[in-house]
Amino acid sequence: MRTGLLSQNAATGSDRLLRAVAASTGVPIPTHPKQPDFSAAVCGAAPFEAAELRVTAMSIPTRILVMAFICASVSVNNSWAQASGSTSSEIHLTRIDHVGLNVVDLKKSADWYQKVLGFTIFHKWNTTWMIRRGDMRVGLFLRPNATKVANLDNTIAITHFALLTDAKGFADAQAKLKALGVAFDPPEDTGVAHSIFIYDPDGYQIEITTYYKSKTQTQDP
């Protein structure tokens, strides 16, 4: 009698615990320990197929084993998601690595970027040179027969790229450009930064800019 009562109480407690785990994890209560889709359901892939057997049809050890499997599977899945970054909506990026430019003369372009902006050769391929200054890189792609875009304002294209400096660097850049005879219009005030624009030998527009408002003083558009 006492053994039967203990078994009944254990079964009731086991049912409650199993149902509590199912409610907290969102995993359906398994209806049979040999259910073929059990592991898939734990992983969130396929639901259990319909079955008529009740939870109470399982033995107490089987119910405890099933409950432990659910807890362990959910824990592993959550750990994997956190480690793989799948819970984040953003791809981890650090900066733009380089821009690629089609040019008609590799040496002429590389020399200009070295003389005017201080870029040096990073690597040479047969028809492509990569130049760099610090972490900034530009890929120069030889296209001797290339023609310029006729109407850039009405064409889907990259219009320019910008190089960042500070206030002193911005003033020094203007002085150097004047000394080299590189034309540019007076600085523009964009509301958050000052910028000047120059053109390389192939007509690419390059912006040199310095921000006078910090990120905390501006709002994202």
Task: State the amino acid at position 189 in one-letter form.
Answer: D
| pLDDT tens for each residue of 95-139 | 999 999 999 999 999 999 999 999 999 999 999 999 999 999 999
pTM listed for this prediction: 0.60
* Domain assignment present for 89: no
Show the domain range for 65.
Answer: 2-84
DSSP string, 146-213: ----S-GGGSSS--EEEEE--HHHHHHHHHHHHHHT---PPPEE-SSEEEEEEE-TT--EEEEEEESS
* Last residue within a domain, chosen from 147, 167, 185: 147
Q: Which of 48, 66, 84 is the last residue of a domain?
A: 84
- Asked if 60 and 40 sit in the same domain, the reply is yes
Residue where a domain stops, chosen among 66, 84, 102: 84
71 and 46 inside one domain: yes
The pair of three-digit structure tokens given for residue 46, joined into one six-digit string: 């396929």
Domain count, the chain: 3
Alpha-carbon span 170 to 194, nearest angstrom? 8
What confidence tens digit (pLDDT) does each residue in 152-187 have? 999 999 999 999 999 999 999 999 999 999 999 999
Q: Is residue 134 located within the same domain as residue 168? A: no
Q: How far is the C-alpha of 37 from the C-alpha of 57, rounded, in Å?
A: 18
